[in-house]
Structure 1
C-alpha cells in the first residue's frame, strides 16, 4: 500500500498478508533505509488484525 502526498508523490507504506480470513491480516512495514518490507506487530502485540488496524499503525508511524 502506498500513500500519496499533496504534491502527487507516492510513498511506500506497507504490505498486507492474507491470514486466512477477511478480517485477519498480517502486515509488513516498508523501511526506506533498506528498501525492504519487514514483518511487524501491531501496538496491541498482535501479528494480525483488520486491515484498518494495520493502516492506522502505518499512518501513525509515518505521518504522526
Structure 2
C-alpha cells in the first residue's frame, strides 16, 4: 500500500477542515492522524466530545481515497461504500458520509 507524500497529508487536512467549516458547523475541530497508507479522521464538538469518524486509505491519488466508517459497536473501522455506491471517493465525500451518520443529518 502506498504512503501519501507530505504534501498530500497537508492538503488532506486543509480540505477536510474547509469542508467541515462549510457543511458541518457542529464540528469545532477536524483532526487527521496518519499511519502508513491510512488517514484516521476524528471530529471534536464544541463541548470537547471527540468522535472517531472514518478511516481513509490512500491509493496513490490525492483525490481518491478508500473509505471505512468507524463503528462504535465494534470500536473499529469497517470498509464501506459511500452514498454514490463506490468504495472510493474524495475525502470530502467520506467526511460527509461519516458526519451524516454521527451528526444525524440524513440529507448529506
Deviating 4+ runs (over 3 angstroms): none
Structure 2 unmatched runs, 5+: 1-40
- Computed over aligned residues only, the root mean square deviation of the Cα atoms, in angstroms, reads 0.9
**TM-score normalized by structure 1?**
0.92
Q: 1:5: how far off?
A: 1.3
**TM-score normalized by structure 2?**
0.56
Structure 1 unmatched runs, 5+: none
Q: How does 1:40-51 map to 2 (within 5 A)?
A: 40-51=80-91
Q: What number of residue pairs does the alignment pair up?
A: 64
Q: How does 1:4-23 map to 2 (within 5 A)?
A: 4-23=44-63
Q: Is the 8 A contact 1:19 1:48 kept in 2?
A: no
Q: Which has the larger share of helix?
A: 2
